[in-house]
Amino acid sequence: MGKNDKNGANGSKGLNNSPLARYRIYLQLEKSLSRNTLDAYMSDVNKFRDFLREGNKEILEATIDDFRDFLAALNDVGILPRSQARILSSLRSLYGFLRLDGYLENDPTELLKTPKIGVRLPSVLSVQEIDDIINAIDLSKPEGQRNRAMIEMLYSCGLRVSELCNLKLSHLYLSEGFIRITGKGDKQRLVPISQRAIAELEAYRIDRDRINIKAGYDDFVFISERRKKSLSRIMVFHFIKELAAAAGITKSISPHTFRHSFATHLLEGGANLRIIQAMLGHESIATTEIYTHIDRTRLRQEIIEHHPRNKKAAFR
């Protein structure tokens, strides 16, 4: 019997019986943490709780895949590896407590790797791999065309997943070839949209018009067929993983992978780094410069593979 069952009959305890309330008391009384440190721990825990709730899960139901998706989501919104490691440390503390206090038999964070601190080159998809993912989408399903449009928007416009989920119809200027994006810090930017992405969006509008959208969500571009409202980030994570598997892609990818691929392909095509910075909505050029590392790595690989001095001589 878990602690929830054991203490549930004591109505006078109220919310103090909840796992998170008991964990807060544990940090305060047994760990003797300062108020600021305590608040930092709980802020990290609440971020994960809110993430789980987007997928209709609670803290005690989390699996290792949920933690991996959460870390990918943190990376997607620009949280640096050092901060990711700190948040993961808070979650390890929580789940260690939940196991020791009888809420869980096993700690789901035990097999989770801590994000490496330092420059990590992101995964990049080739154009062919992106096309393979798009072609793996089943257009006979109600959400099929929506998913095609979403993948094309992530790649063609280099959007963050949060920017995709919050995209509004009133922010589309398709006849002018632009969309208006509200990025981090509520900063807005105009991003060019390709003709292919426009075609996918217009095809999706036919399916979207058939949905009885809930009040308050009418202006969102991408709508959940089942929930009748805007998509959550975790839903986008899940369907991209499914599509990658269906396409036979073995790389570890997330929605942010399409943004990385967008920037890398622009750089390889000769685009100016400042232009890429503006397209991505990076405040600092230093953030954009990671793509030059990717380009240099590929350049070195090309030289090794194709330079005559690196080829084995046919005759001795």
Number of neighbouring beta carbons within 10 Å of residue 224: 18
pLDDT at 304: 54
C-alpha–C-alpha distance, residues 75 and 90, integer Å: 17
What type of residue sits at position 92? Answer: R
| Helix and strand counts by DSSP (H, E) for the chain | 14, 3
Structure-token pair, residue 8: 């549930």
In tens, the pLDDT along 62-107 reads: 988 888 888 877 876 667 777 888 888 999 999 999 998 899 988 8
Helix (H) / strand (E) containing 181 = strand 178-182
pLDDT at 168: 96
Q: What CATH number does the domain located at 3-100 have?
A: 1.10.150
Superfamily of domain 127-303: Intergrase catalytic core (1.10.443.10)
The ranges assigned to domains in the chain are 3-100, 127-303
pLDDT at 45: 93
C-alpha–C-alpha distance, residues 139 and 154, integer Å: 18
C-alpha–C-alpha distance, residues 228 and 249, integer Å: 30
- Is residue 240 predicted with pLDDT exceeding 80? yes
More confident position, 137 or 1? 137
Averaged pLDDT, 15-29: 83
Counting Cα atoms < 13 Å in the Cβ hemisphere of 175 gives 1
C-alpha–C-alpha distance, residues 193 and 43, integer Å: 37
Tally of residues, the chain: 316
pLDDT at 290: 60
User: Which residues are catalytically annotated?
Assistant: 160, 184, 256, 259, 282, 291
73 three-class SS: helix
Highest-pLDDT range among 38-42, 153-157, 198-202, 293-297: 198-202
Closest among 79, 87, 13 to 46, alpha carbons compared: 87
More confident position, 115 or 38? 38
| C-alpha distances in Å from residue 128, one per residue of 133, 197, 291 | 9, 16, 20
Structure-token pair, residue 158: 């280099």
- Is residue 299 predicted with pLDDT exceeding 70? no
Averaged pLDDT, 122-148: 91
Task: Provide the whole-model pTM.
Answer: 0.59
- Is residue 15 predicted with pLDDT exceeding 80? no
- Is residue 208 predicted with pLDDT exceeding 60? yes
Averaged pLDDT, 22-28: 90
Structure-token pair, residue 120: 């990590």
C-alpha–C-alpha distance, residues 287 and 310, integer Å: 33
More confident position, 204 or 10? 204
In this structure, the dihedral spanned by the alpha carbons of residues 62, 63, 69 and 73, taken in order and rounded to 10 degrees, is 20
DSSP secondary structure of 205-224:
HHHHTTS-PPTT-TTBSSB-
Identify the weakest region by mean pLDDT among 12-26, 109-123, 150-164, 288-302: 288-302
